[in-house]
Amino acid sequence: MNINLSWARRASRVLTPILACVTSAALLLAFAESVEQDQSTPPRKPTSAPRKVVEQPRVLVFSKTAGFRHGSIPTGIKTMVELGKEHGFDVVTTEDPARFNEKELSTLSCVVFLNTTGDVLDDAQQKHFETFIRNGGGYVGVHSAADTEYDWPWYGRLVGAWFKTHPRIQPAKINVEDRTFPATSMLPPVWDRTDEWYVYRDNPRPNVTVLMSLDETSYEGGGMNGDHPTSWYHDFDGGRAFYTGGGHTNESYAEPLFRKHLTGAIMWASGIVNTPAKKRSPLPANVDKPVDVLKP
């Protein structure tokens, strides 16, 4: 995995307000300390060197629901916070769509839609998020992120495919088609796990790079004629977008490999790690070309 140079460029844009903010906070803290000390001990000499500031990406985890609400959302939020601490990115969690404003978004490297559902952003918030992506921001969609914002065509292209239906929760075999990507490089060629496996309205393969697809012979209710992507990524409208269909169950977030999968996705979408540009995955020979309905 290569360090992404564009991150450095974007980081300087993103981090400037953060540094200013942190520096202000440090100054305020120093000020508060000196005021306290005035009341008890002689004032300390002011320090000349600024406090060391660690530059790290900032990720917003958004889990607002306007439709079905997954019981695993609190576990998912807790997991994202843990992953941030383990891997060195700041995590801010919210269900407040007002956080989708120009000022807040300009401080972020990536926004995770964690099991969002339905119409969660108003028109102005949607425009701010589109601008964030166009400025090189990252998007990670988890599970019902594909069951979100059906009336926002840009979002449909960003996420790659919308939810249609799902069979019961059950084990399945996942073919890991691309094991060079940061979110899949740690996975076995065939990944056995249990989750709620979405059927999508359209096959996203023509528009994205598919990372993993479900072996529809390994479970009941496949529903996508044998070509069933379940995780993918693409460069989209100036930014980066990743989606994974897993994450319905609480148990998912305790799986070491699923946690690594999410971590790799966030690090890629944040621009911390990169992957060489590649051609789109070829279609399996026995599958008819899906209709490309998501094109603008």
Nearer to Zn ion, 147 or 178 (CB): 147
Q: How far is the CB of 251 from Zn ion (least distance, A)?
A: 13
C-beta closer to Zn ion: residue 116 or 207: 116
SS3 93: strand
Residue 196 or 202: which CB sits closer to Zn ion?
Answer: 196
36's tokens: 């306290």
Cβ-closest position to Zn ion: 248
What residue has token string 């621009």?
Answer: 271
Distance CA(142)–CA(72), nearest Å, equals: 12
Taking CB atoms within 8 Å and a gap of at least 24, the contacts of 213-216 are 213/174, 213/175, 213/177, 214/172, 214/173, 214/174, 214/175, 215/172, 215/173, 215/174, 215/175, 215/190
**Least spacing, CB of residue 177 vs Zn ion, in Å:** 23
- Is 260 in contact with 83 (CB distance < 8 Å)? no
Q: How far is the CB of 70 from Zn ion (least distance, A)?
A: 6
- Tell me how many degrees the CA angle 268-272-275 measures, rounded to the nearest 5: 50
Q: Which is nearer to Zn ion, 74 or 238 (CB)?
A: 74
**Who's near 115: CB < 8 A, 6+ residues apart?**
63, 65, 70, 72, 73, 76, 142, 143, 144, 145, 247, 248
CB of 227 to Zn ion, least distance (A): 21
Smaller CB separation from Zn ion, 7 or 62: 62
Which residue, 137 or 245, has its beta carbon nearer to Zn ion? 245
Point out which residues bind Zn ion (CB under 5 A). 196, 248
Considering the complex, what minimum distance in angstroms separates the CB of residue 59 from Zn ion?
22
- Map residue 182 onto helix, strand or coil: coil
CB of 88 to Zn ion, least distance (A): 30
